[in-house]
Amino acid sequence: MSVKILICDDSGFARKQMARSLPENWDVEISFAADGVEAVAAILEGKADILFLDLNMPVMDGYQVLEAVRSQDLPTLVIVVSGDVQPEARQRVMSLGALDFITKPIDSEKLNTLLEQYGILHELEGRAIPFPDAATSVAHIQQQISFDIQEGYQEIANVGMGQAADLLARLLGVFIELPIPQVRKVSSDQLRHLIAAVVPVGNASVVSQGFIGAGISGEALLFVEEADLDDLAHLIELLDDINAGSRLDLLIEISNILIGACMAGFAKQLDLKFSMGHPALLGRAIELSELQLKPKGSEGEQVMTIEIRYGIQHQYIHCSLLLIFTGDSIPVLDERINLLVE
């Protein structure tokens, strides 16, 4: 009898990566859900002997799904699959009844080891799993899954974002709330309007860091509201009375963590190496309308932006990271992202 697998992730790219990582000789029936509401409905329909569950999703996130599974005693084994690698994220899902927690990007060998460890790969509740026919094989199912390339960018950013959040969480001793990265293509001369629309701060300090490598180039911009620097300093007991110099040091430290770790995670997944420029302060406590931008590339060319907003749980502290890739970088990135699921 086939094992019923449910893969719940808001990204079609992530769903295909997850299906691609399953053992190819496994006799399964795979269903998909794009959010927690769809996942709970599928479980109630008997489609989830095993649920592979993302955490950061719209409508109903992974934590809420785990709470529903526990409170309603739903018949499924839940394995969380997430780019959020903060220790508290793992602790929270395990306390909510998850069988285990594996990190994105999926390592097929580690997944197989985990399935063997729990006796899932060859047996589920005493049912022997026969060798699948061609129509039900995982390899066949993988070929049927499509995704939008924008979802690929979103998923790659999601993993990089999670690695950066883990470092920041350890520095500050807090839990970082992670959003769903927003991917857009805009004209370079519209960047100022985009920033005004997506960066929810008043007077901001802005740090820029350029990057280049393997035909890809761009700029990362970090926006931090000036008042939040004081709160960040107090979180790590930097100073009782923070001054201008220490604010700047803290700002550069935060930018090194969020930009550096995020870009490192981005590059690793795509088998790239970026050369990073030195962080440059573009302004302190300025209105975003005053920001002087000099985007690389031709004036008016289409660029790709990825927006990530970090928040600290139980604190009114947020910072926004905007990654800007030049137009001629996009075909190179598209090719590398497609290679990840071929």
Strands 204-213 and 280-286, by their bridges, are antiparallel
Q: Could you tell me the strand order of the sheet in which 100-103 lies?
A: 28-33, 3-8, 50-53, 77-82, 100-103
Q: Give the phi and the psi of residue 243 in degrees, each rounded to 5.
A: -110, 180
- Consecutive H or E run containing 215: none
Same domain, 191 and 55: no
Instruction: For residue range 195-215, list pLDDT tens digits in order.
Output: 887 776 667 889 999 999 989
Q: Which of 224, 147, 153, 142 is nearest to 183 (CA)?
A: 153
pLDDT digits 0-9 by tens, 103-159: 998 888 999 999 988 888 765 444 444 444 544 455 555 555 556 788 999 999 999
Q: Are 169 and 232 within one domain?
A: yes
Same domain as 316, residue 190: yes
3-class DSSP assignment, residue 52: strand
CATH for 280: 3.40.1550.10
Number of structural domains (the chain) is: 2
The verdict on 102 and 209 lying in the same domain is no
What are the pLDDT digits (tens) for 262-317? 999 999 999 999 999 999 998 887 877 777 776 555 667 899 999 998 988 877 78
Mark which of 95, 127, 143 sits at the end of a domain.
Answer: 143
State the pLDDT at residue 303. 92
Distance CA 130, CA 25 (A): 9
Q: Write down the pLDDT at residue 148.
A: 79
Same domain, 57 and 169: no
DSSP state of 60: S
> Of 335 and 139, which is predicted with more confidence?
335
Q: Domain boundary residue among 114, 143, 172?
A: 143
Residue 68 tokens, joined: 């529903």
Residue 326 has pLDDT above 70, yes or no: yes
The pLDDT-based confidence of 334 (bands split at 50, 70, 90) is very high
Same domain, 202 and 318: yes
Nearest in space to 221 (alpha carbons), one of 295, 150, 273, 171: 295
- Verify that 7 and 136 share a domain, yes or no: yes
Q: What is the pLDDT of residues 1-33, one digit of tens each?
A: 688 999 999 998 999 899 989 887 788 889 999
Quick one: pLDDT at residue 92? 95
pLDDT at 237 over 80: no
Segment 159-177 mean pLDDT: 90
Mean pLDDT of 58-84: 96
Look up the CATH number of the domain holding residue 115: 3.40.50.2300
Instruction: Give percent above pLDDT 90 in the chain.
Output: 50
Cα gap 102→266, rounded to integer Å: 18
Average pLDDT, the chain: 85
Q: Is 306 helix (H, G, I), strand (E, B) or coil?
A: strand
Same domain, 233 and 252: yes
- Across the strands, what pairs with 312? 176
Instruction: Note whether 71 and 212 are same-domain residues.
Output: no
Is-contact 180 311, C-beta < 8 A? no
Which secondary structure element, helix H or strand E, spans residue 226, and what is its range? helix 226-235
Amino acid in the structure at residue 288: L
Residue 140 parent element (H or E): helix 138-143
Last residue of a domain, one of 122, 143, 164: 143
Question: Per-residue confidence at 90, pLDDT binned at 50, 70, 90?
Answer: very high
Q: Grade residue 232 by pLDDT with cuts at 50, 70 and 90.
A: confident
* Cβ partners under 8 Å of residue 240, min gap 6: none
- The percent helix, strand, coil of the chain (3-state, each to 5) is 40, 25, 30
Better-scored residue on pLDDT, 92 or 27:
92
Residue 130: other Cβ atoms inside 10 A: 9
Which residues contact residue 80 at a Cβ distance below 8 angstroms, ignoring those fewer than 6 apart? 53, 54, 55, 62, 66, 93, 98, 100, 101, 102
Verify that 114 and 199 share a domain, yes or no: no
For residues 309 and 185, give the distance between their C-alpha atoms in angstroms, rounded to a whole number.
Answer: 18
pLDDT band with cut points at 50, 70 and 90 for residue 73? very high
Same-domain check for residues 103 and 163 = no
Assigned token pair, 4 = 């019923």
Q: Is the pLDDT higher at 199 or at 327? A: 327
- Residue 120 shares a structural domain with residue 41: yes
Domain with 246, as residue range(s), is 149-339
Q: Which residue has the tokens 């395990």?
A: 94
pLDDT of residue 130: 47
The helix (H) or strand (E) run that includes residue 117 is helix 108-117
pLDDT given at position 129: 42
